[in-house]
Amino acid sequence: TLDQQQFFTEEELKEYENIISIQETELKKKADELQKQKEELQRQHDQLEAQKLEYHQVLQQMEQKKLQQEISPSVPGGESKIQPRMSFPLLRGRKQLRGSSRMPVLGGCGHGAEGGRPHVVGLRAVLPVLVLVLRLTLLTAGFLEVEMAGRTQMVFLNENATILCKIPGFPHLDINSMGITWFRKAQVSETEIKLFEFFGDHKVAFRPGANVSPWRLKRGDASLQLPGVQLWEAGEYRCELVVTPQKAQGRVWLEVVAHPVSSLFLEQAMVKDNEDKHILCKSSGFYPEDISITWKRWTQKEPQFQEISEDIITGPTIKNEDGTFNITSYLRLKPSLEDNVTIYQCVVWHVSSLMCQSFNFTPILIESEKKTDSWIVWLCIGLIFTVLILVRGCKAKFRLMFWSRLWEFRTHGQCMRHDS
């Protein structure tokens, strides 16, 4: 009978344990990398805070010097000479800015508020430079970044997919001052195709159904949602994010796969002794094309499944109209009555499945000798029944003859008495 329940051997369980251990190792590595990134971001954050503190200290020093120069008398000759000296840690290499400005005093005297106005003008001229340097520092610090789902992300054919793109370190974002754009580059093309863009009140989906949730975007999640993914949508996806004045992007390779649907077929459910039959193991609707089909056998003599290497014919893969593939593998079965408790197993492996698919069955053997024995039994039963009928008939006939003879003997005796 056909038994399509999962039947796992010790080797398959060990293989599954190895796969799990490998995944655990990869997850630990990923966790370590994320921890390092977190520490690096914290270090950059602390560095920016320190630079901000020093920046405020510089401003305070400038304000103090300005007040001191306003109080002090002006230099004779109608000019006010200012030589501020300050340390500017925001520039690369912690270079020091040294500057002097000579501003003519209006009216030729330094009395009243007119004497301090040149210093205010000088401070206002320096502030835009400080703001520009601070913005450049934020940009070069690499504070804004995006996290993708590794180098490759696997999705399933005809299912809804979410291509991950997250922004760590930004739990609350103002979506009115940011923009997100998604691109796709096909496998055989170098040209990028725009799929989705969003900035401010502008939101356009160039691929039908593509969307980025504004609610999730506020919380640092710019993942792209694609309904009903098809095979041709595989390729490189790029997430481009702009949070004024910073910009970051991430890339991921999207792989579209399809599960194989496997089944077993028996040419004849009842197999005669010494009569060859073929067992079919068919897998259909899978993608990509690479697939592995192996046959195994379990007997009472062997405690584990043993791989079969003979009498196997595996046909070529056949491409369907939707781009998926089909394949059929044949096993020539020659059952032996000496080992009539045999389990055959078809094992299918594909990249879309974490584990192998196993299908088991046990053929039912019919002995020709058992058929002969059954006919003999029925023949014997018939003969016995016939003999019983004959014996019963013979007994009835013998009984009739006995009473007939007895009647004749009695009649003959009466006649002899009468004559005497």
- The DSSP letter of residue 93 is T
d(CA 157, CA 83): 71
Q: Which domains does the chain have, with CATH numbers?
A: 1-142 (no CATH), 144-257 (2.60.40.10), 261-368 (2.60.40.10)
Tell me, what's the pLDDT at 265?
79
Q: Which parts of the chain sit beneath pLDDT 70?
A: 1-8, 70-143, 267-275, 335-340, 365-379, 387, 391-420
Return the percentage of the chain with pLDDT > 70, whole number. 65
What distances in angstroms separate CA 381 from CA 373, 384, 391, 392, one per listed residue?
Answer: 12, 5, 15, 16
Tell me, what's the pLDDT at 340?
63
What distances in angstroms separate CA 304 from CA 48, 57, 317, 334, one per listed residue?
Answer: 64, 78, 30, 20
d(CA 165, CA 150): 10
Tell me, what's the pLDDT at 402?
60
Q: What single string gives the DSSP state of each residue in 189-213? A: ---EEEEEEEETTEEEESSTT-B--
CB 289 within 8 A of CB 325: yes
Neighbouring C-beta atoms of residue 93, cutoff 10 Å: 6
Q: Model confidence over 127-170: pLDDT tens digits?
A: 555 555 554 444 444 467 889 988 999 999 999 999 999 988 77
Tell me, what's the pLDDT at 239?
96
Tell me, what's the pLDDT at 96?
39
Pairing outcome for strands 178-186 and 235-243: antiparallel
Q: Model confidence over 408-419: pLDDT tens digits?
A: 666 666 555 555
CB 268 within 8 A of CB 262: no
Q: Model confidence over 330-363: pLDDT tens digits?
A: 998 876 655 567 889 999 999 998 889 999 888 7
